[in-house]
Amino acid sequence: MRGQELLDKLEHIAPQYIEEAGTSSRVRRTAGTRVLVAAVCACVVAAAVIVPQYLPPDTPAPPISTPSNPLVDNMVPNPMMSPTYNKVTGYPSPSLYIPGYFTEPLTEQELAVVTPKLCPPYVSYSGIAGFDGEGKLIKVQLSVPIQGGNSVAISLAKGSVMRDYMLPGEPTVTPCNGVDFALYEVAFAADDIRLEATAVVDGCAFLFETTATEDTLKAVKKSFELVLTCFTEYDEGKPNLDAVIPEEIPEWFDRKLTLGEAKNDADFGNYIPSLPHGFVLENARRYKDYRNDYLSVLWCRGLEDVTWRVRRYTEADAVRLTSVEDTKNYDMSLYSIPLAETVPEQLLGIVQDPLFQAKDLTLDVVKARLFNGHYTFSVKYGDIVVQVNAAADVGAEWIYEQLTALQK
């Protein structure tokens, strides 16, 4: 593709999104004294850490405008010709438990060694790195805005990256500049079409993801394919993932406790109640990473269960705080299944898990939270939040007594 042809295809992308490459003044620190962590079984456990999808494919792109005097230093030498999209049905991928998983923004130096030397005009890459609890790189996630108001998310990892679909056989590949891309189109609905692509270059796996609608599909495909073509051009042939190291490894642990150990926990033990009648302890867990810090206890009796989780209050909890006078925020007698159709959209989050001040809690409030066989709500004690999910048979009286006793 000639330079002018490339500009004609992308002239709508605003020039304010060009970021000139510069030398960062930030100095990467080594990890220093690394935190020693216990080996954690790689199975999925209750409340397992799920790798967050930072920079999702539908992240809004910048507003569109037309540049007046476009300049592009690097032209894509050979655009993707006759791309073939494999038609597949989407399947939910399994949850991946990574002990101590945490993320950090990429520095300018790191961004420079993991991004290709080509980039669609008037846009720039941004990204994060994800590590396990010992500081080992799990993957790099990049994002680049494209037309249509969305972006392309690009995952890079050594070996392979997880994907959300299955094929009965080998996919048809589309070659481009020496790289074989397997392209996929998954149509969940007219307004929810997923475009994905995978490739492996010298042991480095790539996963590209974006979204479109029936109306935008043709235009989004063109931008998507241009991004794929850009990733065939690296100064060293492939990204240098070895240069991505954590600046600091956060403290983390995942411990299974006895009920006595849970009650003696220095941070949250005082908020664990007595054993509900007829129930037995199934699991007590103390977990902490860079994002989570909690103590949870699970009791069971047959198919019934009581989950009691204690953690610190965060700013994100503020939107769920409600007074007992605002019954529309918590009284489940006002709603029916399915909640998404009977609860106003702006109230759905708070109705599903309202947060009460401990001093305002009453037995009637607890009774009002019974829905579909469970009591579900949270209570705030200063900077501590207690989350309750209890089977109906445990009784509102027992729940209220335990929560009231925590104030003494």
Could you give the count of Cα atoms lying within 13 Å of 402 in the half-sphere of its Cβ?
A: 23
pLDDT in tens, 286-316: 999 988 999 999 999 999 999 999 999 999 9
Environment class of 188 (CB within 10 Å of its CB; exposed 0-12, middle 13-18, buried 19+): exposed
The residue type of 361 is: L
pLDDT number for residue 91? 64
pLDDT: which is higher, 113 or 69: 113
pTM of structure: 0.65
DSSP 8-state class, residue 110:
H
| Terminal C-alpha separation, the chain | 74
Share the mean pLDDT of the chain: 80
Contact 313, 391 (CB under 8 A): no
Name every residue whose Cβ is closer than 8 Å to that of residue 382 and which is 6 or more positions away in sequence: 313
> At 374, is the secondary structure helix, strand, or coil?
strand
pLDDT in tens, 136-185: 999 999 999 987 678 999 999 998 776 666 666 788 999 999 999 999 99
Structure tokens at 382: 């200063």
Name every residue whose Cβ is closer than 8 Å to that of residue 326 and which is 6 or more positions away in sequence: none
pLDDT at 33 over 60: no
How many angstroms separate the CA atoms of 358 and 185, rounded? 50
% of the chain residues with pLDDT over 70: 77
